[in-house]
A and B are shown apart, each in its own frame.
Chain A
Amino acid sequence: MNSQTPVIALKNVSKTFGEVRSLSGIDLEIYPGEIVGLLGDNGAGKSTLVKTIMGFHRPDAGGEIWFKGEQISDWSVAKARGLGIETIYQERALCEQQPIWRNMFMGREIVNKFGKLDVKGMRKEASRLMSEHMGFTSTAVHPDNTVLTMSGGEKQGVAITRALHFEAELVILDEPTVGLSLSETKKTLDFIQNIKASGRSAIFIDHNIFHIYPAVDRMIVLDRGKVAGNYKKSDITMDELIESMYRVARTGNMKEQK
């Protein structure tokens, strides 16, 4: 469907926790400049898939992860982030007692050549990103303030600016609009469009089809740990998509349609 090399490709990726097989034989490719919606019921394996792409979970033997046409064998969170994949997690992945700057640079702190933390630089950058890109002016978002004092939307802002700062090639948004106000949701959706405009890619996970459908180029439906459907937006209307989502939930099969 696309002659370019995918930013990331999963080949036959499975993940088993004890007796439970959360993912089985997932094949998935994300191309540059593409926004892909990931849909699926609760327990379909969306979060496990995200955490596997990010290197938090290690895929079962036999699964392969390719980044820009190269197979990566020792996949880890540090490696994934180093290559330019950032995730905005549903649970925000923040450390609430810590100041904003420490959260923003969590795991990828800026150090000088002697290994000394550049605290001043991180404060300044955090402050700049928060005010320029997220438009935050509230008193709670000074870089030295702890995340504890912030609102849900502001916490989300920290998670988003984190991805902004590192100029990720691929941004994964795991249910980013949960608990956000209307204007905060719009801000998040705008952020996704900016990713596309700058030629980078995103995976967008949401329960709300009405958020996903307008924002994405392609949709992948997960069901019981398997890819149950893969549609270009031009190939399916929103009504058909909703219809087949119901069918999947009932029968686990999407392919009945024409």
Chain B
Amino acid sequence: MTEKSTATAPKNNAARPPSVWRRFGMQLGIWSVGIVMWLAFVVLAPSAFTQPEMYLAFASSTPIFALMAIPLTLVVITGEIDLSFPSIMALSTCAFTKVVAGGAPIIVGVLAGFLMGISCGLINGYLVTKFNIPSLVITIGTQFLFLGLELAWTNGSGVDLTPTNYATISKIFVGRTFFGVANQFWWTILATLLLWYILNRTRFGSHVFLTGDNKISAQLMGVNISRVKQGTFALVGFFAALAGMIGSFEVNYFWPTMGGGLLLNSIAAVFLGGTSVFGGSGTVTGTFVGAFIIGAINAGIVAVGINAFYTQVFFGLVIIASVLLQAIISKRVKS
């Protein structure tokens, strides 16, 4: 494709930085989709979208799947996928309730939950890297396995988590500390910042990009791609445990079937956010915006007064349009 800008050579023929468009084109795409959609909702349903209640509701519900979508971004950048995180969510929350029921202090229970999440992630990572099985296939297997173990362990019955017994932990996870905004929203912001840092400012993060871009090159240069992938799966496991506990405390109850319906929300958020399905590129901030777009669609459709059965149609259209937009942008950027 022709590019006009190359015709005007810079002074002294010096090296020039890539244009803003080239560097942030994908990011601009997702942010503009988000803003356009938000403006549309404000115009169509001003009564709902100018009220803070609407945004407070977003801030409490979206984080449950956003918290998993954000680390999932790293898995996708390495060229893999994880379909088992909703089950990890359920199994690690189950571990938390069982340890507490066994008489251990709550903090021990929380640690047990995280430990379970990380272990499940490491099992995924181990199976994928050790046996070279496509993650798409193996995590379908572990998704059934983890959920099955959890259902067998709980015998299908839930656990009451009323704040009287869990005052402190419930406040930390899902309290309304600042401006009445649910704490899980702040946790999500924190997770985004943390994972941005890991991805962009650590050796591990660099290796995540290199592994997904060209694994042979990365290996030839001494990158341990198995360890990198295992690390990304473990991160998803950890955050699935966090999301599971937050989701349960939000409703004061642990449902053994929790996590159902969150899988596609999280995956859609990652791809909406501009992460390449082929690996090698992606951003956690994009996923963050993508998650809130998905969250807004749900609420927006109802607020605008459209029959809720159209939600899926709208979902489909927004996702397809965004991904098409990204395909067009990336083609232009790379030419």
Contacts and interface: CB of A to CB of B under 8 A. Distances in A.
Nearest to A119: B201
Contact of A107 (B200, B205, B216, B221): B221
Given A56-B219, A115-B203, A116-B201, A144 B214 contact: no
A89 B222 CA distance: 13
Nearest to B205: A117
Interface string B129-172: 00000000000000000000000000000000000000000000
Given A98-B209, A102-B206, A106-B210, A144 B221 contact: no
Q: How large is the interface on B (under 10, 10 to 19, 20 to 34, 35 or more residues)?
A: 20 to 34
Find the residue from B17, B210, B216, B222 having the highest chain A CB count within 10 A. B222
Nearest to A111: B203
Q: Which 5 A-B pairs have the closest CB atoms?
A: A77-B222, A95-B213, A107-B221, A107-B222, A78-B222
A142 interface: yes
Given A80-B222, A81-B221, 7 more contacts: A56-B220, A91-B217, A106-B206, A107-B222, A119-B201, A139-B10, A142-B15
B13 to A, nearest CB: 5
Interface stretch (A63-71, A130-138, A201-209, A246-254): A130-138
Contacts, number: 108
B218 interface: yes
A87 B218 CA distance: 13
Find the residue from B17, B213, B221 having the highest chain A CB count within 10 A. B221
A199 B221 CA distance: 24
A141 B13 CA distance: 11
A81 B9 contact: no
Interface string A42-72: 0000000001001110000000000000000
Interface of B: 6, 9-10, 12-18, 23, 200-203, 205-207, 209-210, 213-214, 216-224, 280-281, 334
A97 B104 CA distance: 49
Contacts of B200: 117, 119
Given A98-B210, A102-B206, A138 B15 contact: yes
Given A139-B15, A142-B18, A144-B18, A108 B222 contact: yes
A158 B213 CA distance: 17
A145 interface: yes
A94 interface: yes
